[in-house]
Amino acid sequence: MTTPIQLHEVRKSYGSGPAAVTALAGLSIAFPAGSFTAVMGPSGSGKSTLLHCAAGLDEPTSGTVSLVGRSLAGMSENDLTLLRRDHVAFVFQAFNLMPALTVRENVMLPALLAGRRSDPARVSEVIRRVGLEERATHRPGELSGGQQQRVAIARALASDASVLFADEPTGALDSHTAAEVLTLIRDLADKGQTIVMVTHDPVAASYADNVVFLLDGRFVAEIATPTAAEVAERLAHLGSLAGNSASRGQR
């Protein structure tokens, strides 16, 4: 099986000297094709930095990243943009929709930016799948948070990207709407997309095939076929360790 996302000994530091912050401390991790992985860990453990480095949105201080079989080291901004455009979809907590465009236009935007023609029937189909067919001509400001996130998911569906990065996709949603959105993300994984989702929510993580836990920028644990209770327990344990290491650092 191929491995579309691979990080090898990735270190990421911000700033320099005594004020430097190490967000990733030599992290090696691989996400196999078609897997749905939740990334968890205490606040500041490096989850978003992992996602940004894996997607080529941020450059590691050292170590290597490969995405859909391409090494990102030394790749130009332009080539990175093209690689993301053709292979990667994003769903963020803050929806990232264009306020002036309708639902339908937002879903078609990645294809438009890539200079590809959208198939109108397919666009209608993905909008129907996320339950927004009656809202297709509305603008994001006229939709609820859950509906806006469903537009972002429809956009990811329409893009046919092989990799989806999601950063707290349900962070702004109530539990019922979050469940709907997670079911849609789960469907994408079942259709073969490789999904990496950062979340604080053990229930959200339980939709994944696998949960990886970070602490202080390192991989520390993993749970396959997780239940929300197992994840919550592990997270509480890591939270207490994070507290200890923070207080050690102050001495």
Ligand X SMILES: Nc1ncnc2c1ncn2[C@@H]1O[C@H](COP(=O)(O)OP(=O)(O)OP(=O)(O)O)[C@@H](O)[C@H]1O
By the criterion CB under 6 A, which residues form the site for ligand X? 14, 21, 23, 41, 43-49
Name the minimum Å distance from CB 171 to ligand X: 10
* Nearer of residues 130 and 216 to ligand X, judged by Cβ: 216
Write a three-state SS string for the chain: CCCCEEEEEEEEEECCHHHCEEEEEEEEEEECCCCEEEEECCCCCCHHHHHHHHCCCCCCCEEEEEECCEECCCCCHHHHHHHHHHHEEEEECCCCCCCCCCHHHHHHHHHHHCCCCCCHHHHHHHHHHCCCHHHCCCCHHHCCHHHHHHHHHHHHHHHCCCEEEEECCCCCCCHHHHHHHHHHHHHHHHCCCEEEEECCCHHHHCCCCEEEEEECCEEEEEEECCCHHHHHHHHHHHHHHHHHHHHHHHC
Which residue's CB is nearer to ligand X, number 16 or number 78? 16
In angstroms, what is the minimal distance from the CB of 240 to ligand X?
Answer: 16
Which is closer to ligand X, CB of 146 or CB of 171? 171
Min separation Cβ 43 and ligand X, Å:
3
- What separation in angstroms does the CA of 40 have from each of 153, 203, 232? 21, 12, 10
Q: Is the CB of 52 or the CB of 155 nearer to ligand X?
A: 52
Q: Residue 124 or residue 210: which is nearer to ligand X going by CB?
A: 210
Among 29, 9, 11, residue whose Cα is nearest residue 21: 11
CB of 44 to ligand X, least distance (A): 4
Min separation Cβ 46 and ligand X, Å: 4
Q: Which residue lies nearer to ligand X by CB, 48 or 64?
A: 48
Minimum distance of ligand X from residue 13's CB (angstroms): 9
Residues 155, 161, 162, 168: is their CA dihedral positive or negative? negative
**Min separation Cβ 20 and ligand X, Å:** 9
Q: Which is nearer to ligand X, 195 or 198 (CB)?
A: 198
- Please give the Cα distance from 84 to 75 (Å, whole number): 12
